[in-house]
């Protein structure tokens, strides 16, 4: 497997994956937990995992901006990790873990944040993914999500320092 910054020719594949697995309302959660599909603004923050030239997953990681503060009761700085996705055919192979670890190692002096949808349904898979790297819950936020047809609750997680996992993930 190869993990690299998204190349322009890979971006359509990533957008297609995000369209396939995002949900658009509360009745559509069987597809996954990505709230919005990728758009052109996501390109610069995108890192992809590919096998034999086929994109099998991606992660978005970018510096936090003031616009992100609307989502939290905290004024933080660091890197925001969001939109972690792996094609269902390749799940269970630690690809999401390898993507997260790649980002954490790429920016070793940063504080990292991610938000995970908590209600009406908890996203246990994402909680476990980020938890194994040491992310800790720092707040919960109620959020009006008319696009989803409900109000949601999101949990903000923080990682202040990353120590390499005791057993390195085999790539």
Separation in Å, CA 98 to CA 9, 28, 106: 22, 27, 12
Determine the pLDDT at residue 114.
87
pTM of the entire predicted model: 0.83
Model confidence pLDDT, tens digit, residues 101-159: 999 999 988 999 888 776 556 778 888 899 999 999 888 776 665 555 555 667 778 88
Within a domain: residue 171? Answer: no
Determine the pLDDT at residue 76.
73
Within a domain: residue 170? Answer: no
Determine the pLDDT at residue 83.
85
- Whichever domain contains 6, its CATH number is 3.40.630.30
Within a domain: residue 167? Answer: no
Within a domain: residue 96? Answer: yes
**How many structural domains is the chain composed of?**
1
Determine the pLDDT at residue 157.
82
Within a domain: residue 83? Answer: yes
Model confidence pLDDT, tens digit, residues 6-50: 999 999 999 999 988 876 555 555 545 556 788 899 999 999 999
Strand order in 2-5's β-sheet? 2-5, 46-51, 54-63, 79-86, 112-119, 150-159, 136-145
């Amino acid at each position: 497997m190869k993990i690299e910054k998204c190349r322009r020719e890979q971006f359509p594949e990533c957008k297609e994956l995000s369209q396939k697995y995002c949900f658009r309302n509360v009745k559509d959660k069987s597809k996954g937990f990505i709230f919005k599909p990728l758009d052109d603004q996501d390109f610069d923050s995108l890192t992809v995992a590919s096998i034999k030239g086929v994109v099998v997953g991606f992660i978005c990681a970018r510096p936090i901006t003031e616009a992100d503060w609307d989502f939290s009761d905290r004024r933080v700085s660091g890197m925001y990790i969001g939109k972690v996705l792996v094609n269902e055919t390749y799940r269970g192979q630690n690809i999401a873990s390898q993507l997260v670890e790649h980002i954490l190692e790429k920016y070793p002096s940063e504080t990292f944040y991610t938000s995970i949808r908590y209600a009406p349904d908890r996203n246990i898979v994402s909680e476990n993914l980020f938890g194994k790297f040491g992310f800790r819950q720092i707040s919960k936020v109620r959020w009006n999500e008319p696009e989803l047809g409900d109000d949601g609750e999101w949990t903000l997680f923080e990682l202040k320092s990353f120590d390499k996992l005791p057993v390195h993930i085999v790539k």
